[in-house]
């Protein structure tokens, strides 16, 4: 759990809709930290598993309501539930512009998009891990219509489970994750397919580089498909850049990739005013918010930024 002064941040109740890998882990982490958390899932097994971890099962939710359902269910998952009219609604979906279009329309400035950069190739409540978010980045979207105080409430929930908050617009988020997540998922699928075509000998010899390069190909295909199709434009653009790279002389390509992957940067602590422009600049520099101190937010940027 976080060691920074989150006690000075507002701490409303949390309601989690969808108690699978992401939602179950969030609800379990909050419950383990002694925080009241309610939740709902259409699956009775997921409800039972969450209740056993201290989550109050309810269809009436208030405070910060976190949608942690598969992307195709985001638009309708709250329809049958009773959501407090003053609740802040957020989500954990892997794409942000399409979710903003739907939930921004429905909830206006009460909606704040989010995306924890955590998760494994497993899914469902059996994949619940209360430590999932410790040390992870959690994108919390600051779009032109976002209410800064509601943004803070969502940021506080992320920080309460050990994450570091990256302020970002939905569009910048989708461009960035196309490069570091959505294209890697497609490449993992392509690598695994090619290895399968190479036959049993190749698969029998497969070791570390194959395992690391294809790990996410073990994810639920429905989850990956909704993610890459939901972010089709930025993903296609990033994939085209990868294809350009593959056409370069191999020694140059290998050297450039190695330089990026072996880069190490320290962290420089910073204080940022509670101001949209300053927060977005922090995120663009690769930094993150880790806590709040009076009127300022505490965080860090990479050395040299």
Ligand X SMILES: NC(=O)c1ccc[n+]([C@@H]2O[C@H](COP(=O)([O-])OP(=O)(O)OC[C@H]3O[C@@H](n4cnc5c(N)ncnc54)[C@H](O)[C@@H]3O)[C@@H](O)[C@H]2O)c1
Q: Which residues bind ligand X (CB under 6 A)?
A: 17-23, 40-43, 46, 68-71, 73, 77, 92-94, 115-116, 119, 123-125, 127, 223, 227
**Least spacing, CB of residue 168 vs ligand X, in Å:** 15
Other CB atoms within 10 A of residue 131 CB: 15
| 116/162 with CB nearer ligand X | 116
Tell me whether residue 263 is exposed, middle or buried, using C-beta atoms within 10 angstroms of its C-beta: 0 to 12, 13 to 18, 19 or more: exposed
| 124/131 with CB nearer ligand X | 124
**Least spacing, CB of residue 244 vs ligand X, in Å:** 28
Q: How far apart are CA 35 and CA 37, in angstroms?
A: 6
Of all residues in the shown chain, the one whose CB is closest to ligand X is: 20
**Least spacing, CB of residue 201 vs ligand X, in Å:** 32
| 151/223 with CB nearer ligand X | 223
| 19/301 with CB nearer ligand X | 19
| 158/301 with CB nearer ligand X | 158
Other CB atoms within 10 A of residue 7 CB: 9
**Least spacing, CB of residue 47 vs ligand X, in Å:** 9
Tell me whether residue 248 is exposed, middle or buried, using C-beta atoms within 10 angstroms of its C-beta: 0 to 12, 13 to 18, 19 or more: exposed
Q: How far apart are CA 21 and CA 76, in angstroms?
A: 20
Contact 61, 84 (CB under 8 A): yes
**N-term to C-term CA, the chain:** 28
**Least spacing, CB of residue 73 vs ligand X, in Å:** 4
């Amino acid at each position: 759990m976080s060691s920074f002064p989150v006690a000075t941040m507002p701490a409303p109740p949390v309601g989690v809709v969808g108690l699978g890998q992401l939602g179950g882990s969030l609800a379990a982490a909050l419950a383990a930290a002694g925080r009241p958390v309610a939740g709902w899932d259409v699956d009775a097994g997921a409800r039972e598993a969450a209740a056993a971890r201290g989550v109050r099962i309810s269809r009436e939710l208030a405070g910060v309501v976190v949608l942690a359902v598969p992307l195709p269910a985001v638009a309708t998952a709250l329809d049958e539930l009773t959501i407090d009219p003053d609740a802040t609604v957020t989500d954990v979906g892997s794409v942000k512009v399409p979710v903003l279009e739907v939930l921004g329309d429905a909830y206006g400035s009460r909606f704040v998009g989010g995306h924890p950069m955590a998760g494994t190739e497993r899914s469902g409540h059996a994949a619940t891990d209360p430590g999932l978010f410790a040390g992870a980045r959690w994108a919390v979207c600051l779009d032109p219509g976002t209410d800064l105080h509601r943004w803070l409430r969502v940021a506080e929930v992320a920080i309460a489970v050990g994450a570091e908050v990256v302020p970002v617009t939905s569009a910048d988020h989708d461009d960035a994750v196309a490069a570091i997540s959505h294209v890697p998922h497609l490449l993992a699928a392509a690598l695994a397919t090619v290895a399968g075509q190479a036959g049993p000998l190749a698969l029998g010899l497969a070791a570390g580089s194959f395992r690391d390069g294809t790990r996410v190909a073990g994810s639920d295909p429905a989850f990956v498909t909704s993610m890459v199709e939901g972010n089709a434009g930025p993903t296609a653009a990033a994939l085209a850049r990868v294809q350009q790279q593959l056409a370069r002389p191999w020694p140059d390509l290998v050297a450039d990739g190695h330089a990026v992957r072996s880069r190490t940067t320290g962290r420089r602590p910073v204080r940022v005013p509670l101001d949209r422009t300053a927060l977005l600049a922090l995120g663009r520099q690769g930094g993150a918010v880790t806590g709040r101190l009076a009127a300022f937010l505490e965080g860090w940027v990479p050395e040299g930024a």
